[in-house]
Chains A and B, each alone.
Chain A
Amino acid sequence: AQSVTQPDIHITVSEGASLELRCNYSYGATPYLFWYVQSPGQGLQLLLKYFSGDTLVQGIKGFEAEFKRSQSSFNLRKPSVHWSDAAEYFCAVGAAAGNKLTFGGGTRVLVKP
């Protein structure tokens, strides 16, 4: 069975500082990995995805993520955080492109002025 762990429940970061959100997955085969962002009371918006190829993937809003098979990780990063990045971030894994997703518990990001 696949699972996703996001070790940090909350992260507070100053505006302009860098951000890294951790994600560890458990899956027996090649994973399809995703990061979604959710603003309060809203649905989920896809930030980026990894299926294969280059292990550093670029997404929207200046986010990037790096797939490390040896560490079963898919960490999300942003070099300089904006106040609008305050939201909840979810890492997810799927068995194949377009399949159902298993989500982590999420990391809530607070941005200090």
Chain B
Amino acid sequence: DTGVSQDPRHKITKRGQNVTFRCDPISEHNRLYWYRQTLGQGPEFLTYFQNEAQLEKSRLLSDRFSAERPKGSFSTLEIQRTEQGDSAMYLCASNRYTEAFFGQGTRLTVV
């Protein structure tokens, strides 16, 4: 069990560029979540997968955001046409039964 892995750990991008983050959950965890955490705040739910199916999306997930989980393994979160307001820590979590295990996050800075 190597834990939830996220890549990259840090990303600096210019406004208007597209970025993609990857999350590798703990193997055999069928549920995967994305959260966003801005400075000084708690994480906020973005979206949830059970296996390869995206079952829920938050209102926070605008049309510029898209997430996938092909084959029910790793997941990607893409942000198109980034804005300064997208600057945040993006956290991935996975679980099979009870508690969620979180990755270390990807910190996005949009300049």
Contacts and interface: CB of A to CB of B under 8 A. Distances in A.
Interface stretch (B41-49, B65-73, B76-84): B41-49
Contacts of A31: none
A51 B97 CA distance: 12
A101 B101 CA distance: 12
A44 interface: yes
B45 A51 contact: no
Interface residues of A, number: 23
Contacts of A106: 40-42
Nearest to B55: A100
A42 interface: yes
Of residues A41, A100, A106, which shows the largest number of chain B Cβ atoms within 10 Å of its Cβ? A100
B102 interface: yes
Contact of A49 (B42, B48, B99): B99
B14 interface: no
Contacts of B41: 105-106
B44 A103 contact: yes
B98 to A, nearest CB: 4
Interface in B3-19: 4, 6
A102 interface: yes
Nearest to B46: A100
Contacts of B105: 42-43
Interface in A56-86: none
A81 B50 CA distance: 39
Contact of B42 (A43, A51, A104): A104
Interface of B: 4, 6, 31, 33, 40-45, 48, 56, 91, 93, 95-105, 107
17 contacts: A41-B104, A41-B107, A43-B4, A43-B105, A44-B43, A44-B91, A46-B100, A49-B99, A51-B98, A90-B42, A100-B33, A100-B45, A100-B56, A101-B43, A101-B45, A102-B45, A106-B42
